[in-house]
Amino acid sequence: MILVWLLRLVVVYLVLRGISRLVRGIGEGLRAPRDAQPPAVPLVRDPVCGTFVVPSRALTAGSGADLHFFCSEECRRAYIVKTS
């Protein structure tokens, strides 16, 4: 009998917690500015396979105006061999 009441208490707690989190999430969504968008990240294209990569995470070869960005070490090696 005590186990049944304990189980009911746990279920009621979980339901109330879920409703509370839902209401809190709706409130946060209503307070957020409507035109807020995450900042755009410029992408660069890998000259070997054509994959678009984020420059800060890409591998590079060359320098200055002749800087090329690569998605992997394999693409970078292929480009270096091709241009050598």
Instruction: Give the residue-averaged pLDDT of 58-84.
Output: 91
pTM, two decimal places: 0.54
Span 4-41, pLDDT tens digits: 999 999 999 999 999 999 999 999 888 877 776 777 88
- DSSP assignment of the chain, as one string? -HHHHHHHHHHHHHHHHHHHHHHHHHHHHHHS-TT--PPP---EE-TTT--EE-GGGSEEES-GGG-EEESSHHHHHHHHHHH-
